[in-house]
Amino acid sequence: MIQIPRGTQDILPKDSYKWQFIEERLNEIAKNYNYKEIRTPAFESTELFVRGVGGSTDIVNKEMYTFQDKGDRSLTLKPEGTAPVVRSYIENKMQHDVVQPTKVYYMAPMFRYERKQKGRYRQFVQFGIEAIGVEDPLIDVEVISMLMHIYKSFGLKDLKLYINSIGDQHSRAAYNEALVNHFKPSIDEFCSDCQTRIDTNPMRILDCKKDRDHELIKTAPRMYDYLNEESKQYFEEVKANLDAIGIGYEVDYNLVRGLDYYTHTAFEVMSDAEGFGAITTLCGGGRYNGLLEMLDGPHETGIGFALSIERLLLALEAENIEIPEPEGIDLYICTLDAQATEKASHLIHTLRTKGISCDIDYKRRKLKAQMKDADRKGAAYTIVLGEEELSTGNVELKHMETGESKTVQLDELETLLEEK
């Protein structure tokens, strides 16, 4: 038997309503904050991620689904959404759009070849937003507040927002130097990844999962102490404005994020809920001031975040929050013989075109089984169609919840149901 690829999942019909509910909510909230949807291809040139996300990151080094197409181009299934959006922004010259800044969102499958674990998939759906073309602490606050609004709107409570500033390129250079001086003498005690990171991206040592308990991580220099005045000022304004609108956060000086493009504001939301599993990051994001120029674009900056719907669902489950089940169909027509089934199949065709949701039993089961079926399909009303009903044109319209029924004409069914 051919099985589903490792790290992927089927969203079965019994569960797809949860996804639809979440997707609808996210679309609504995006509209609320005036973000418009952008759709980019499922695959991009590999170079986009190597340059955009960064050659020293786990994503680029270990996790990309890269392949040569028949034209011998190297393509990669997108592991994240920011680089593709920025590519599209540059290619479509959105810096000249009349509406500024560019505020977009996406909801699409992403692909990373990661070790399968609870909350970690090889294909997962990210909802993300990007605000490009403005550098102002207030837009950073808008992005973070939208994120928290999303989680709160689903009723989640056990959340923690962590923020940090990674500063600008100058502060980062000074900080990296301090980290190299701090870790270099004892780098042999660290994992092989960190031994590479010390040369490629020392900041990433700080969020290494293997070495997180090493004493030197705890005593490492703090980014904040290396921020120049401008970066400090920016960070202080972000915090002050988060305070002003009552968004609670904790500053985590070791928060560096796993992608290379970040500058200034960086943030993550974690779940504190018991039973969430080992991976507790629900969402991550931050500002990327150098990314557009790194991809040969204009001198514009951006900020955004991405969350996966898979982890949002896990968080809801961990906090015992149920997504309301959708309503069933309006009408189920039970039939007593072949002639009635044929008539019913014509009738539902008309009713459906009028917007009434209805169904019949194609398996030609006994009446009792059909009634059960109607119940399972959540039918609000049922009628039974047999020889007598066909000849008189009268049917009993039964309200399933109350059990009440009344005789109605078959040809007034449509109007009656429309009214109800």
Annotated binding-site residue numbers for L-histidine: 80-82, 112, 126, 130, 257, 261-262
Q: Which is nearer to ligand HAM, 242 or 315 (CB)?
A: 315
User: Nearer to ligand HAM by C-beta: 284 or 395?
Assistant: 284
Q: Of 132 and 220, which CB lies nearer to ligand HAM in the complex structure?
A: 132
Between CA 254 and CA 241 the distance in angstroms is 22
CB of 31 to ligand HAM, least distance (A): 19
Task: Give the residue carrying structure tokens 């102002």.
Answer: 136
Q: How far is the CB of 111 from ligand HAM (least distance, A)?
A: 9
Our CB check for ligand HAM shows the closer of 310 and 389 to be 310
**C-alpha–C-alpha distance, residues 196 and 194, integer Å:** 5
- CA torsion angle for 55, 57, 61, 67 (degrees, to 10)? -70
Task: Provide the 10 A C-beta neighbour count for residue 33.
Answer: 16
By Cβ distance, which residue is nearest to ligand HAM? 304
Shorter beta-carbon distance to ligand HAM: residue 105 or 183: 105
Determine contact, residues 191/210, Cβ cutoff 8 Å.
Answer: yes
CB of 59 to ligand HAM, least distance (A): 7
Query: How big is the chain by its Cα radius of gyration, in Å?
Result: 28
Annotated binding residues: 80-82, 112, 126, 130, 257, 261-262
Q: What is the smallest separation between the CB atom of 241 and ligand HAM, expressed in angstroms?
A: 19
List residues binding ligand HAM (CB under 6 A).
80-82, 112, 114, 119-121, 124, 126, 128, 130, 258-259, 281-286, 304-308, 310-311
Instruction: Find the shortest distance in angstroms from Cβ 173 to ligand HAM.
Output: 22
Helical pair 16-32 and 137-153, crossing angle rounded to 10 deg: 150
**Nearer of residues 140 and 359 to ligand HAM, judged by Cβ:** 140
Closest separation in Å from C-beta 159 to ligand HAM: 13
Question: Mind giving me the DSSP string for 308-371?
Answer: EHHHHHHHHHHTTPPPPPPP--SEEEEESSHHHHHHHHHHHHHHHHTT--EEE-TT---HHHHH
- How far apart CA 175 and CA 23 sit, in angstroms, is 40
| 67, two tokens | 């392949």
**DSSP readout, 260-303?**
TT-EEEEEEEEE--TTS-S--EEEEEEEESSHHHHTT--S--EE
Cα–Cα nearest to 326, from 19, 9, 12, 108? 19
Q: What are phi and psi of 303, to 5 degrees?
A: -150, 150
- Minimum gap (Å) between residue 12 Cβ and ligand HAM: 18
Q: Which is nearer to ligand HAM, 256 or 380 (CB)?
A: 256
> 329, 331, 328, 327: which is closest to 408 by C-alpha?
331
